[in-house]
Amino acid sequence: MKKTTFYILAATAIISSGCKKYLEQSPDQRTQLNTVEKVAELLATAYPQADYATFTEAASDNAADKGTGGFISDPTNTNPFFFRDVLERTQGTPTNYWNACYQSIAACNQALEAIAKADNPADYNAQKGEALVARAYNHFMLVTLYSKVYDAATASQDPGIPYVTVPEKVVNGKYDRKTVAYVYEQIEKDLLAGMPLIDNNAYKVPKYHFNKAATNAFAARFYLFKKDYQKVLTYANNVFPGGNFKNNLRPWVTVYSQLTGTEAEAIYTKASETANLLLVEAPSDWARNVASFRYGLRTDLVYSLFIYPNVTTATWVQPLYYRGSTENWVVLKFREHFVRSSANADIGVPYTIFPLFTAEEALFNRVEANIYLGNLTAAKNDLNDYASMRIEDYTSNYRLSDARLRNFYGTPDLKTALIYTLLDFKQAEFIQEGMRWFDILRYDIPVTHTSVGGETETLTPGDKRRLFQLPQEVVLAGIQQNPR
């Protein structure tokens, strides 16, 4: 599938040339952005229309080499697996995701400029809130994937990513990466300014916009990266009334495990699913290729993550499938939506719906905050609530006890055992969603990938390759790429 090449950071550069009379005729009345409805419509594009799962999943310890027998060998999958820079610009690549984020940021900035110029800016409060929070989210994802993970001791020296707050109106404009600390300051500023303005009633389908629950989940994730655990608790507790997560988690035991394959593919990313807090539909063939990529979920990983007993002494109920080859394992989460180029065409664009924030992640963030704040009983209770929704006949025989935690992980330190439990639960829960990469970054987890031919590559703690590479064209904007 061909992709548009964007100018440096965004696709909204305006070139003033041509016939004046022709330019006075707007081909799309939305470009005038002179009503609340038009601004709201623009903000539908404020979310990155691209996936990061393709490259983060391949780079993580969720991927192994399946061999050469009929699997998809593609640079978008192969290069991340061997921790090499991905030079391709197609869907599922770091360059494509970078461009998509800045295109979304451009939409946010265009909306905010229109709101600032409006005669009645107060009428646009909900749209202003969405634009600010979405701008913060896009920059957060960029600084997470392309800069060093936040460390209070070094963030003021570590290169960040350009934080863009005005519409891009020139081609090849100059930008500055500044520092991770600066980027985090701007993210927090936008997030806190936008959060009180979020209004669920402003959306026809709130799950595709930053609604109140998703905004609080984003805040919880942001402060988790900052290690401000008290704020993580505050925002995680605000996701659902009364901080009640158990009744809002995906019902794998009672519902999901009873579905047919087709039904399971359809339900996971439905807007009606309570656990989904924010969804995005992006041009992506992830739903089509996730099981068939050469470097992905292999049988030994399936057994270690799902079949062998976990710390509860039970196994997860998530139904596992394989497509074609017995090595093409998949947990049915994604269903492709193919859009034909015309009614009778055989060609078109595949789309995949991705959950950007979920109830499960928000719960896990609360667990981690409680562990580091010393609230170990609360953390265990949340982990037990989660496990009860993923393990059949979950009784006191399986509940996490201090002794069980210490013995399973071979450590006398309960806090350490709880962190191991949390990371294991998360790895299984978010399999094939690309989320494992964030924990690999935050905990500097080493990753070793070995090919069937014996070639081994290890991503050690502090390895420069933990930062995905910026697109080559950013050099034209005066931005340095990441060192290699």
Residue 1 has pLDDT above 90, yes or no: no
Higher pLDDT, 346 or 250: 250
DSSP 227: T
Name the nearest CA neighbour of 316 among 412, 367, 391.
Answer: 391
What is the mean predicted confidence (pLDDT) over 100-108? 98
More confident: 1 or 257: 257
Rounded Cα gap, residues 286 and 271, in angstroms: 19
The strand pairing partners of 359, in sequence order, are none
**What confidence score (pLDDT) does residue 171 get?**
66
List, for residues 55-95, the tens digit of each pLDDT value: 999 999 999 999 988 899 999 999 999 999 999 999 999 99
The pLDDT value recorded for residue 11 is 36
CB neighbour class for 353 (10 Å; exposed up to 12, middle 13-18, buried from 19) = buried
**For the sheet containing 337-340, what is the strand order?**
276-283, 348-358, 337-340
What's the rounded Cα separation, in Å, for the pair 210 and 44?
10
On the CB side of 222, CA atoms within 13 Å amount to 29
Structure tokens at 202: 């402003």
Specify whether the CB–CB gap between 143 and 184 falls below 8 A: yes
Query: Closest Cα partner for 111 from 202, 205, 3?
Result: 202
Task: Give the mean model confidence (pLDDT) for residues 158-164.
Answer: 98
State residue 31's pLDDT score: 62
* All domains in the chain, ordered by first residue: 20-477 (1.25.40.390)
Q: Does 3 score more than 50 pLDDT?
A: no
Percent of the chain past pLDDT 70, that is, above it, reads 93
Residue given tokens 């891009």 in the structure block: 168
pLDDT confidence of 343, banded at 50, 70, 90? confident
Q: Does residue 2 carry a pLDDT above 70?
A: no
Rounded to the nearest 5 degrees, what angle is found at the Cα of 257, between the Cα atoms of 255 and 260?
95
Region 92-101: mean pLDDT is 98
DSSP helix, strand, coil percent of the chain (3-state; round to 5): 45, 10, 45
CA atoms of 173 and 168, how far apart (whole Å): 8
Decide: 313 and 404 in contact? Cβ < 8 Å. Answer: yes
Give residue-wise pLDDT tens across range 23-58: 344 444 446 899 999 999 999 999 999 999 999 999
Are 110 and 135 in contact, with CB atoms under 8 Å apart?
A: no
Which of 2-6, 403-407, 474-478 shows the lowest mean pLDDT across its residues?
2-6
pLDDT for position 4: 30
Torsion of CA 281, 425, 293, 465, to 10 degrees: 90
- DSSP code, position 303: I
What is the C-alpha to C-alpha distance for residues 41 and 30, in angstroms, rounded to an integer? 8
Query: d(Cα 184, Cα 139) in Å, to the nearest integer?
Result: 9
Which segments within 168-288 are labelled E, that is strand? 276-283
Classify 476 as helix, strand or coil. Answer: helix
Q: Give the residue-averaged pLDDT of 130-148.
A: 98
Band of pLDDT at residue 8, cut at 50, 70 and 90: very low
Please give the DSSP secondary-structure letter assigned to residue 294.
S
Q: What is the pLDDT of residues 186-210, one digit of tens each?
A: 999 999 999 999 999 999 999 999 9
What mean pLDDT do residues 141-164 have?
Answer: 98
